[in-house]
Amino acid sequence: MTRHRDLRAIALAAAILAVLAVVVPVDWISFLLLAPVAFFLTGYTILLACFVEKPQPWPRAFWISLALSLAVLALLPLPLNFLGGLRPGTWSAGLVLVVLGAAAIAAARRGSYPSAEAPARPALPRPSPFAALLGLGALALAAGAIVLSQTTVSNSDAEGFTALWLKPAPGQGPGEAKARIGIDNQEQHYTTYEVTAKFIGGGEVTRTLSLYPGSHTTFDLAATPQPTPDDPTFVAVTLKRKPEEGAVAPYRRVYGWIPASTEE
């Protein structure tokens, strides 16, 4: 029917844009494809379902549609979180379902009001050359901002860090002193570390290891010889970066007490 032509066009446009947004491998292009559905079509279809007898005039309809679309974006994560999580595919499917559901309600309500007609097409504005130039410039700036926000920029001068932590190793019995040490490499390069644990009354233990950026590891170091049984042991752990390149100054240091027993 001609009175539902606008609803069919909206549903078809939303489905096509959502599919393209999922298929296109470029993130910023996917965002541009899904933006009309997320920021306008969902709210506009809800508007058509609510105001059947008295279609809202433009530009009021545009602002109401934008507000309703933002409300959908705020509420849609609640069901999506239980239906597959917040991923591009679920977002696209959820927005299309909102459009289809609102379009179905609008079509059904129009059937209940024989005198209701589809809203008139909005009159296209005729801006002056200066206003058109400003509009094109604003669109170019917005597109550039989106592209820049999705572009990964390398920085050779960026500084990373290394995290070092210490806790008693689980499962040790009376008379044992064993420290569990964790290292998290957030440097910008492959890094070699020298870790030294000094046990009061239990000697000194050193271990050398290397980690790729973004990786982490945990390991246990035991006092040799074992300290006095049934007494807590104080341990100081020192970490040095790149000992093979002459960087002998300590980079991280943690302290702690190891109880006489950690058996459960």
Over range 214-219, report the average pLDDT. Answer: 90
Query: Kind of pairing, strands 216-222 and 178-186?
Result: antiparallel
**Domain boundary pick from 149, 176, 201:** 149
Shared domain for 144 and 165, answered yes or no, is no
Rounded distance between C-alpha atoms, residue 116 and residue 104, angstroms: 15
Last residue of a domain, one of 149, 181, 214: 149
Q: Please tell me whether residues 175 and 57 are part of one structural domain.
A: no
Last-in-domain residue among 118, 149, 180 = 149
Q: Does 173 fall in a domain?
A: yes
pTM of the complete model beyond 0.85: no
Higher pLDDT, residue 236 or 86: 236
> Is the residue at 121 inside a domain?
yes
Task: Give the Cα separation of 131 and 26 in Å (integer).
Answer: 31
Tell me whether residue 81 is in a domain.
Answer: yes
Residue 19 pLDDT > 60: yes
* 19 within some domain: yes
Which residue shows structure tokens 């809203």? Answer: 119
pLDDT at 12 over 60: yes
Burial class (CB in 10 A: 0-12, 13-18, 19+), 165: middle
Are 11 and 114 contained in the same domain? Answer: yes
28 with 124, same domain: the answer is: yes
Q: What is the CATH number of the domain that holds 244?
A: 2.60.40.10
**Which pLDDT value is given to residue 169?**
83
- Same domain? For 43 and 124 the reply is yes
Query: 173 and 234: one domain?
Result: yes
Domain-located, residue 154: no
Say whether both 75 and 138 belong to one domain.
yes
CA separation for the pair 124, 84 (Å, rounded): 41
CB atoms within 10 A of CB 95: 24
Contact 15/33 with Cβ under 8 angstroms? no
Tell how strand 203-211 and strand 161-168 pair up: unpaired
In a domain, 264, yes or no: no
134 has pLDDT over 70: yes
14 and 129 in a single domain? The answer is yes
Asked whether residue 94 is domain-assigned, the answer is: yes
List the domain range (segments joined by +) for residue 133: 2-149
**How close are the terminal C-alpha atoms of the chain, in Å?**
75
Same domain, 117 and 202: no
Q: Are residues 142 and 187 in the same domain?
A: no
> Does pLDDT of 98 surpass 60?
yes
Answer yes or no: is 156 within a domain. Answer: no
Q: Do 239 and 141 sit in the same domain of this protein? A: no
What does the alpha-carbon distance between residue 15 and residue 8 come to, in Å, rounded to a whole number? Answer: 11
pLDDT in tens, 65-75: 888 988 888 88
Binning the chain into helix, strand and coil, the percentages to the nearest 5 are 45, 20, 35
Question: For the chain, how many structural domains are there in total?
Answer: 2
Residue with tokens 């109880």: 259
Which of 71, 18, 79 shows the shortest CA–CA distance to 44?
71
pLDDT tens for 204-213 read: 888 888 998 8
3-state secondary structure of 70: helix
- Check whether residue 9 and residue 118 sit in a common domain: yes
